[in-house]
Amino acid sequence: MGLLEDDAQWDGTMTEAATVQSPARLRNLFVILLLTCGPSNPGQLWESYKESLTEDIPIQARRENPGIVLDYTPDMFNQTLIILEDEALGMAGKDLKQLGLPTPQRTLGDRLSREMLRETSYDLNDLNEYISANKPLLLPDQRAAYNDILDRINRKAGGIIFLDAPGGTGKIFVINLLLAKIRQQSKIAIAVASSGIAATLLHGGRTAHSTLKLPLNLTQCEAPLCNI
């Protein structure tokens, strides 16, 4: 509608978010901004915030290569562009070229590397703080479920667990605390939900259709498969 002549509002939004949000959440915000707000110069926004959007990638690289000084590289920025494009494709079926950003270079191994990066790049300090602040808030029934599920995971017992409780009694709270604890142990916890709204309540959550590449219409698919 031409109400905004420049991207000052979106620039301010990104500046504020970059000071308090993790890189993963910042990337999610950036994609939503591109898809719904129509910035006039998305390329300039990318150039201004690409280091903040990429911050967790060199951190992970330093963990894998202690003692080596690593700075941002074109390959790291390319990894971020791939993550952004995947989110945009999942949300609206649009690639980065359609949104005014550079097209990332992809290889056959990008998907596996990208998924591993997504699930192993959580900040340990943030996880420690979250657990310390929220674990004492567990109610007796919540703590019983939390301890039982963690025990099963640590014993590699496996199984299917259903948390049966009325709405508003803290099921999501328990699940998010479990996700944080598992990730704190450098294990992978994949959080999926049946709807986009439910997925936003889970830390690092995505829809089952997006994560597992489920067919949108299972009844019309002769041999439905999911991709894990």
Give the DSSP letter string of 136-177: GG--HHHHHHHHHHHHHHHTT----------TTSSHHHHHHH
pLDDT for position 3: 43
Which of 112, 110, 104, 72 is closest to 88 using CA atoms? 104
pLDDT for position 217: 63
Query: Which residues lie across from 192 on neighbouring strands?
Result: 206
Residue 15 binned pLDDT confidence (cut-offs 50, 70, 90): very high
pLDDT for position 80: 93
- pTM for the model stands at 0.54
Tell which wins on pLDDT, 172 or 209.
Answer: 172
pLDDT in tens, 170-184: 999 999 999 999 999
Q: What is the mean pLDDT of residues 199-204?
A: 86
Q: What is the mean pLDDT of residues 117-128?
A: 83
pLDDT for position 171: 94
pLDDT for position 109: 61
- Any long-range contacts for 83-87 (C-beta under 8 Å, 24+ apart)? 83/27, 83/114, 83/117, 83/118, 84/27, 84/30, 84/31, 84/53, 86/114, 87/27, 87/28, 87/31
Q: What is the mean pLDDT of residues 171-198?
A: 90
pLDDT for position 2: 43
C-alpha 120/C-alpha 183 separation (Å) is: 8
C-alpha 191/C-alpha 122 separation (Å) is: 13
pLDDT at residue 116 above 50?
yes
Q: Among 27-31, 112-116, 131-135, which is the least confidently predicted range? A: 112-116
Q: What is the mean pLDDT of residues 66-80?
A: 84
Containing H/E element for 192?
strand 192-193
